[in-house]
Amino acid sequence: QVHLVESGGGLVQPGGSLRLSCSGSRSTSDYYAVGWFRQAPGKEREGVSCISTAGAYTYYAESVKGRFTISRDDANNMVYLQMRGLKSEDTAVYYCATGRFVGVQDLCQMRRRATWGQGTQVTVSS
């Protein structure tokens, strides 16, 4: 299993930007797809954005498409989520997760087993 640690969360004003980072304990280029998920109070966890091995394919939830960008830096075992145009409804605990030999759609729609980080809080408020 892979150990994942999220960072970069915090308080940001509506319309602002934030970049989340996910650090892995092993190379994310080793056939691991990686994704970002979020869970708001009282709501189910949802897939936000996922990226395939080597970054060839990406998936975005409709609610964040055009505002969020996922990327990976395999040399440093890092995956990022650049969030722009943040809205209050983006407030949630954000988690990263990874699965080996898993496609981005299967990962983001939680159809396969994955290893999860502990989460980082993102709060969008004026």
Answer yes or no: is pLDDT of 84 > 90. yes
Q: Is the distance from CB of 80 to CB of 70 less than 8 angstroms? A: yes
Q: Is the pLDDT of residue 1 over 70?
A: no
Reference 47, options 98, 122, 121, 118; nearest CA is: 98
Confidence of residue 112 (pLDDT cuts 50, 70, 90): confident
Res. 30: pLDDT tops 80: no
Q: What's the pLDDT score for residue 74?
A: 86
What confidence tier does 75 reach under pLDDT thresholds 50, 70, 90?
confident
